[in-house]
Homo-oligomer: A and B are copies of this chain.
Amino acid sequence: MNIYDIAKLAGVSIATVSRVVNDSPLVSEKTKAKVRKVMEENNYTPNVFARGLGLGTMKTIGIVCPDVADAYMAQGVAFIERNLRESGYDCILQCSGKNPEDAKAAVTNILNKKIDALFLIGSFYMFNGDNDPNTDYIREAAKNVPVFLINGYVEGQNIYGALCDDKAAVEQAVNLLISEGRKHILFLYNTDSHSSRLKREGYIEALNAAGLPVDENLFFFARPGIEDVKRDLLMTCPKEVDGIFATNDRLAAGALKYARETGISVPEDLSIIGYDNSEIAISCEPELTSVDSMCETLCRINIDSLLGLLHGSVPDAKTYTKGILVRRASTKL
């Protein structure tokens, strides 16, 4: 059932049918009604490919993220999907994994789908930062469609970022530990992403500001996975540690397991702070103090202005959030 069939059945030309489909004001209400009736009776829907070919767009947006199975990213994907769908956009999702080459390939691939905008979820895509030449692929992509980085930013035309000031957020978190009197604070991490580096900077800054020494031995790289983290800490966690800042809740949960296994009580003898404010943080016992970044970031995204962009106007290139420290029982309240 195509536009010709409808035209024939309704006794009008295809041009008129097309106009009705697009609700053009140039058609009399009478013919509109007539044509609509025929369309409904045959439950006709226009062919999206033909439409796409003519208009150059199918009203889809592309979302690329390292892995939707990760709660943090899923949250971002869900947010974008929900909001853009409300405005009639469909979403093509692509999980790229965490290899830079794969990231570039994913972007190239999804651009071929002639999407109307590209969303990259997570700081991973900015690699080593705003001006890392490796992020040229983003600038390249932005020549075709507006690119929105969720929790990321790179310099360039037609590129927009909404992100959490990870450095400041971590400073805040580590300051809390320091204010509790912690002297040997472990920095627990498991990736070398840009975001991870910012967190490290925040950690160092806070120590410096408090006049505490920055001890190389207090940077602890652990394998991912709660159980793994526990084991890694059991093996080599310096005994003097009395505070832990973890770059995500999973790591923090592992630290908690470690503490329990060794009989260290939290928060009395050891304070622990996580990051992401995920369900893990609330499941733990004691519950984890954690930094909420994604949720905060998403709240600040002005969807209207993004849509404005898709329709002509321009949003702020860079939206910053501070990240909120949610205090719970894993630190002294």
A interface residues (Cβ-Cβ under 8 A, vs B): 45, 47-50, 52-53, 56, 58, 60, 63, 67-71, 74-75, 77-79, 81-82, 85, 90-95, 109-110, 112-114, 226-227, 250, 253, 256-257, 260, 279-280, 282-285
Question: Shortest Cβ distance from A267 into chain B, in angstroms?
Answer: 14
- 15 extra interchain contacts, Cβ-Cβ under 8 A, other than A68-B77, A279-B283? A45-B112, A47-B114, A48-B113, A49-B56, A60-B92, A78-B95, A90-B92, A90-B113, A226-B279, A226-B282, A227-B282, A253-B282, A260-B285, A284-B284, A285-B285
Once the chains bind, are A58 and B49 in contact (CB under 8 Å)?
A: yes
- A74 to chain B: which residues have CB within 8 Å? 68-71, 74
Chain B residue at smallest Cβ distance from A96: B85
Q: How many copies does the complex hold?
A: 2
Chain B residue at smallest Cβ distance from A69: B78
Question: Once bound together, how far apart are the Cα atoms of A69 and B93, in whole Å?
Answer: 14
Once the chains bind, are B53 and A81 in contact (CB under 8 Å)?
A: no
Once the chains bind, are A69 and B58 in contact (CB under 8 Å)?
A: no
Chain B residue at smallest Cβ distance from A58: B49
Question: Once bound together, how far apart are the Cα atoms of A285 and B329, in whole Å?
Answer: 14
Q: List 30 A-B contacts (CB under 8 A).
A: A45-B112, A48-B52, A48-B112, A48-B114, A49-B49, A49-B52, A49-B114, A60-B92, A63-B93, A67-B78, A68-B68, A68-B74, A68-B78, A69-B77, A70-B74, A78-B95, A81-B94, A82-B95, A85-B94, A90-B109, A90-B113, A91-B92, A91-B93, A92-B92, A92-B93, A93-B93, A257-B285, A279-B279, A279-B280, A283-B284
- A226 to chain B: which residues have CB within 8 Å? 279, 282-283
Once the chains bind, are A53 and B47 in contact (CB under 8 Å)?
A: yes
- A81 to chain B: which residues have CB within 8 Å? 68, 93-95
Partner among B53, B58, B90, B284 whose Cβ is within 8 Å of the Cβ of A94: B90
Question: Shortest Cβ distance from A66 into chain B, in angstroms?
Answer: 10
- A260 to chain B: which residues have CB within 8 Å? 285
- A78 to chain B: which residues have CB within 8 Å? 67-69, 95
- A75 to chain B: which residues have CB within 8 Å? 69
